[in-house]
Structure 1
């Protein structure tokens, strides 16, 4: 099976910031989207509690749910196509 990748647009506020959530203290904070795009962030620290973690652990529940929904919809589309193709092949027997 091949790997599939998705691009997920993270919504920003009117000032160009998007919200992150600390995996330790659970507080929300914002980061400027242009700073995020311009650098390759691997580790990040929470500006509230100061603890460091991998950047991807700071995604908010909203962003994680959006990613899960995109992946779920993709999987459902694949299953639909597979069963649709099976139905066509069954009718040609």
Structure 2
């Protein structure tokens, strides 16, 4: 069971050691992914959608040609929770399929 309790900055820093390329900004986990072209960017987002839906937790996603910025936060808790970390881990796995 995932806990919807806001993590401390110390806990977030520990998780970030395991989440390559992710940053903690504005009470959110953020990562920019780079792909070969726009089609690959859209494919990546298409892979993220069902995973996010299955977790009932949806990231903010911005596509700019070959770049996709993913932002994760739990608005109800006002910051990063274990749910955000788990979704970030799953998103990390998806990039290899693009």
Calculate the TM-score normalised by the size of structure 1: 0.28
Computing the radius of gyration from Cα coordinates, the structure with the larger value is 1
User: Which of the pair is proportionally richer in strand?
Assistant: 2
Calculate the TM-score normalised by the size of structure 2: 0.27
